[in-house]
Structure 1
Amino acid sequence: MEETGFKEELEKLLEGAGDAGYLILPAIRTFKIGVDFKLTDGTKPGKAYQEKPETENAETGPEQIVKTESLKAKTGPSGRDKKIIMNLQEHMKIVQRPWKEMSFGLGMSETELLGCIKDFKDKGAIKRISAVLRHRKIGYTANGMACFNISDEKIEQAGNTLAQYPEVSHCYQRKTCPDWKYSMFAMVHCRGEEECRSIAREMSKQIGCPEHIVLFSTKEYKKERVKYFME
């Protein structure tokens, strides 16, 4: 999202918030996106998707699945590019050949569609295509955001360490402000709040950062990916 567009959307959101207090904490660096859930039947979990740490533009908001700037030529992404991305953002049909069915709607062959997707990924426009697991439905009802007040010189080592925890789904360095001193964030998923707190305490020892807090989700109002080119 362009910086001007981000600020406009933010202003609309704040207007609706009324007198509620708020903090704007843009992501600066991503250390991990992905989580390994321990299944009750003893099944060994797969390897979580994990990105190489990367620096984000702190003024335009957090990292995004589709980086539209990667698709832009002098005239911007083509109409076909936009149509493909719009389709990829929707739920995939559970059929034998989902890519083939999607390609029919786009007026291209399955091979052409897969080639375009590979091209997007090679350019960094698409990071991944993956299933979304509703973790609350399998017993992981506690979501704790572990926040650490850690010095800048320890950020990289701490982020790489926290990213190794299978219970962590997201790990970011975020911008601080006078009212918020915590710069490292790790979302921890567990079956109970005490387990989250215990893991956060272990993390704080591992990274040498005793000053931390854990923020628990109390109610989920919305959870979905940002969608692009929907106007």
Structure 2
Amino acid sequence: MIDDTDRQIIAAMQGGLPLVPAPFAEIASRLEMDEGDLMARIAAMKASGVIRRIAAAPNHYKLGMTANGMTVWDVEDARVAELGAQVGALPFVTHCYERPRALPDWPYNLFAMVHGASGDEVEEKRAQIAALLGAACRGHDILYSTRILKKTGLRLKERN
């Protein structure tokens, strides 16, 4: 559970960090608390699982990456964790995760998001992933984005 101070911290950060050289100092100042105390509370919330991570969520379209594809892979179960970590470490993969198959219709268990300035660039990146997976991959496909989804982080529910 979180207390009122943690709730205030989350509320102050949920719309995004301020675009200033020291965003956490700015938030601490707004909340009239010490920056060290703020950071300790954020660390405690991360350790307890209240907050998973604090990260940038770029708009790939504004960065010129207008071809966006979720590559999906049918990878041997015994190797999916090992190979998934290697795929996730590729510099052009923005996120990579394992999911259960939904047989017989959906044989894929490894997902990796890639972005490019063109479909050809995304296909080149998919080919690099296929080469890395090698014989452990029994099949793959790619699902191209057709619209931008709004990305949001942690949101607090209003109290009654």
Please say whether Structure 1 and Structure 2 have the same fold, judged by a TM-score greater than 0.5. yes
* 1:104–1:202 Cα change, 3 Å: closer
Q: Secondary structure at the match of 2:90?
A: coil
Matched, 1:214 2:142: yes
Give the CA deviation at 1:170: 0.6
* In 1: Cα distance, 2:22 partner to 2:113 partner: 35
Q: TM-score, normalised by structure 1?
A: 0.60
* In 2: Cα distance, 1:151 partner to 1:124 partner: 30
* In 2: Cα distance, 1:161 partner to 1:104 partner: 41
Listed as ranges, the gaps of 5+ residues in structure 2 are: none
Give the CA deviation at 1:228: 3.0
Aligned to 1:189: 115
* In 2: Cα distance, 1:210 partner to 1:190 partner: 25
Matched, 1:92 2:17: yes
- Contact 2:69–2:143 (CA under 8 A) maintained in structure 1: yes
Q: Which moved more, 1:187-196 or 1:123-132?
A: 123-132
- Contact 1:176–1:183 (CA under 8 A) maintained in structure 2: yes
* In 2: Cα distance, 1:195 partner to 1:124 partner: 37
1:225 pairs, out of 144, 152, 159, with 152
Give the CA deviation at 1:189: 1.1
* 1:227–1:204 Cα change, 3 Å: same
Q: Secondary structure at the match of 1:138?
A: coil
1:175 pairs, out of 83, 100, 106, with 100
Aligned to 1:111: 36
* 1:180–1:210 Cα change, 3 Å: closer
Q: TM-score, normalised by structure 2?
A: 0.83
What RMSD over aligned residues (CA atoms) do the two structures have, in Å?
A: 2.1
* 1:91–1:164 Cα change, 3 Å: closer
2:58 pairs, out of 130, 133, 140, with 133
Deviations 1:11-30 (A, max 9, x none): xxxxxxxxxxxxxxxxxxxx
Give the CA deviation at 1:187: 0.3
Give the CA deviation at 1:145: 0.7
* In 2: Cα distance, 1:91 partner to 1:226 partner: 8
